[in-house]
Chain A
Amino acid sequence: MDNINIKLSVNGRDHNVNIEPNARLLDVIRDQLGFTGTKEGCGVGECGTCTVILNGRKVNSCMVLAAQADGSKILTIEGIASDNGSLHPIQEAFIEAGAVQCGFCTPGMVLSAYELLSHNPSPSRDEVKIAISGNLCRCTGYKQIVDAVELAVGKMKERKGDKR
């Protein structure tokens, strides 16, 4: 089994990586590229802690073969905050709404919220729940997380208003 070279664009930067053909995208992101915000909770696509945004769609990176992602654009939790380090409105909202307890589900939850709001800036509460339905949380009971996403909706509309 020979190694192969792939190219991944992660959080806006290109990376050339030499990988084993059976490497998972999760392992490449964490172990080879050092983006450890993406977690492994179950390894079988049932918890969502490994969620990344791949070519605009959120997926479980534990179930993506890294070789299949060759040439793709990936967004991890590390790419959500601005370049100057200031938090994204979704991240601020999670803090303000008390939606972070142990924090293990948080990267996946934030990315699910980010993907939702990027194509639906005014979701209903039910739509928020569906958007996070692939992300398990053992601490919060989900209510604060849903509240945080609703809070983020308002923050993002405000920011958009300020920019005009």
Chain B
Amino acid sequence: MIDFDYIRPRSIVECVELLRRYEKKAKLLAGGTDLMVEFRANDKKVKDVEIIIDTAHISELKFIREEDDLIEIGAGVTFSELAESDLLRRYAPILCEAALAVGSPQIRNAGTLGGSLGTASPASDPAPPLVALDAVARIAGPCGERELPVSLLVGKSSDEPMRHDEMIVSVSFKKTSGRGGFSFLKLGRRKTLAIARMNVAVYVETDENNMAVDVRIVPGASFPSAVRVKAAERMLLGKVPDVELHSEIGKKLAEEMVKVTGRRWSTPYKEPVIAVLVSRALNEAAGVKSNG
């Protein structure tokens, strides 16, 4: 186990000051479900860490609130708290579904949304729903606060989206109209305690003629980062959702994936499976039943 000191700030301002002071020698601790595993493995990500800054007692990070048409979630909210939130059940049920898909009950009681976004795994479960909701992260640093789309925070990227003296404070997104349907699907090697092999978050809203007016498709653990696949979304806009069309959209999305990733060792599995996963999610979100 790596040696380090421990410090417990009580506010965001104090926390940012500590990050500034200790530079790359400090790491933020939230639920510990990623960091403690990295420490135990002497992971190269943490080998230079000399001090742990514990964010778990910063009450400013623990909230879920609505203000007009925005929902904002503090970085310190745990996955259990996300799943149990009535407000989120109403306006972002895919985020609740994704929260319930993470790890195990024990991990969900400790792991936080901010911590998960900080780890920024390409296989993240909460990331696709947040990107589908066009969520934006609020980031605090020594010079004040700024906003960054969640789609730029997660996944593999050569550019570091955040500086070492910045921290995620919250994420927020606009409420959807309430007339659309959501779907979150995850494939893992087992039903629980499983990292996503692939997941997908989908939102479909239709007008009074049953034509799609708002379509959001975000696959996870398949593209280098969680992004809305507009080429696939465009295929449904202005059309009536149906099973055959969704199947074509799934195949189109798989094509887009291979264009971006190239043919990798996992492609023979991921290409056909992402196509089916996306079409199933579209069927569920749009409320159409398939025969298979």
- A residues with a Cβ closer than 8 A to B are 1-2, 4, 21-22, 24, 43-46, 48, 51, 57-60, 62-65, 67-68, 70, 112, 130-131, 133-136
Docked CA distance A135–B56 (Å): 25
Q: Report Cα–Cα, A64/B40, bound state, in Å.
A: 12
What is the total number of residues of chain B having a CB less than 8 Å from a CB of chain A? 29
Q: Chain B residues near A67 (CB, 8 Å)?
A: 6, 8, 52, 54
A41 to B8, CA, bound (A): 29
CA–CA, A64 to B29, complex, Å? 10
- Please tell me if the beta carbons of B5 and A65 are within 8 angstroms of each other in the complex: no
Q: B3, A64: Cβ atoms under 8 Å? A: no
- B191's nearest neighbour on chain A, judged by CB, is A133
Residues on A with C-beta less than 8 A from B1 are 22, 24
CB pair B32 A64 closer than 8 Å: yes
**Interface positions of B from 41 to 94, Cβ below 8 Å from A:** 52, 54, 56, 80
B109 interface contact, C-beta 8 A: yes
Kindly provide the distance from the CB of A100 to the nearest chain B CB, expressed in whole angstroms. Answer: 21
Given A21-B6, A46-B193, A65-B36: A59 touches B109 (CB 8 Å cut-off):
yes
Q: Are B105 and A134 in contact (CB under 8 A)?
A: yes
- Summed over the interface, the residue pairs from A and B with CB atoms below 8 Å come to a total of 91
B49 to A, closest residue via Cβ: A22
Contacting pair A133 B105 (CB below 8 A) = yes
**Can you name 22 A-B residue pairings with CB atoms under 8 Å?**
A1-B4, A21-B3, A21-B6, A22-B4, A43-B40, A44-B37, A45-B106, A46-B193, A57-B80, A57-B109, A58-B109, A59-B106, A60-B110, A64-B32, A65-B6, A65-B54, A130-B192, A133-B192, A134-B104, A134-B105, A134-B106, A134-B107
| B29 & A22 in contact (Cβ 8 Å cutoff) | no
Contact A21 B56 (CB under 8 A): no
A65 vs B32: C-alpha distance when bound (angstroms): 7
Contact residues in A for B192 (Cβ distance below 8 Å): 130, 133-134
